[in-house]
């Protein structure tokens, strides 16, 4: 494990901290010190001085802020929206997604149908459908048979006349 001179360490920390705020990869490249070591120094320095780090990933606005942006942008044209988004550091797609989230917010409050009941209802309807289809097919066959018998009876009467029956 390499140890570094405390003066070198403090000069590098000065480069990493404001006002210069150079990036860790840039300082690592220029000094030859691994970036993991530099991140560790920064973490230790901030912890020792009680400085809370602000993560860039956690800059997600609250739901109230999102709703306010959606309301503000509702009447804007596309050009005005683009300008507003540039000023606020947003993307028009984000605003559109937030608008859809606002529209769908109350959908979750509606009671959802019971899945089991829906499934049972569908199964009973399918069973009734099969039964009625089978009955219809049976009746169509019987009707076709009766029609054939009537045709044969008429032909028989035409050939042999009325006297046979």
Of the candidates 112, 79, 85, the residue with the CA atom closest to the CA atom of residue 98: 85
Q: State the pTM of this model.
A: 0.35
The verdict on residue 138 lying in a domain is yes
Is 115 in a helix, a strand, or coil?
helix
**pLDDT for the residue numbered 141:** 97
Give the H/E segment covering residue 16: helix 6-16
Distance of CA 84 to the CA centre of its chain: 26
Are 46 and 72 part of one and the same domain?
Answer: no
Most confident range (mean pLDDT) of 5-19, 36-50, 68-82, 121-135 is 121-135
Look-up of token digits 């169509």? 140
Of the candidates 93, 99, 104, the residue with the CA atom closest to the CA atom of residue 72: 99
Most confident range (mean pLDDT) of 39-53, 61-75, 140-154 is 140-154
Are 44 and 71 part of one and the same domain?
Answer: no
Q: How many domains does the chain have?
A: 3
The verdict on residue 143 lying in a domain is yes
Are 153 and 122 part of one and the same domain?
Answer: yes
**pLDDT for the residue numbered 53:** 59
For 94, the domain range is 63-109
- What does the pLDDT average to over 71-83? 90
Q: By CB neighbour count within 10 A (0-12 exposed, 13-18 middle, 19+ buried), where does 3 fall?
A: exposed
**pLDDT for the residue numbered 110:** 64
The verdict on residue 58 lying in a domain is no
């Amino acid at each position: 494990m390499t140890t570094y001179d405390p003066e070198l360490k403090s000069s590098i920390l000065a480069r990493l901290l404001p006002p210069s705020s150079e990036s860790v990869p840039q300082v690592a490249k220029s000094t030859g010190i691994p970036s993991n070591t530099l991140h560790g120094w920064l973490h230790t320095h901030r912890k020792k001085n009680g400085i809370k780090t602000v993560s860039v990933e956690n800059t997600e606005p609250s739901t109230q802020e999102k709703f306010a942006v959606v309301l503000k942008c509702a009447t804007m044209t596309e050009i005005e929206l683009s300008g507003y988004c540039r000023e606020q550091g947003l993307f028009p797609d984000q605003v559109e997604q937030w608008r859809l989230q606002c529209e769908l917010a109350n959908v979750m409050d509606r009671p959802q149908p019971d899945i089991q009941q829906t499934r049972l209802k569908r199964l009973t309807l399918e069973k009734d459908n099969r039964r009625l289809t089978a009955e219809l097919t049976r009746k169509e066959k019987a009707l076709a048979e009766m029609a054939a018998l009537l045709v044969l009876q008429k032909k028989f009467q035409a050939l042999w006349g009325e006297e046979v029956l």
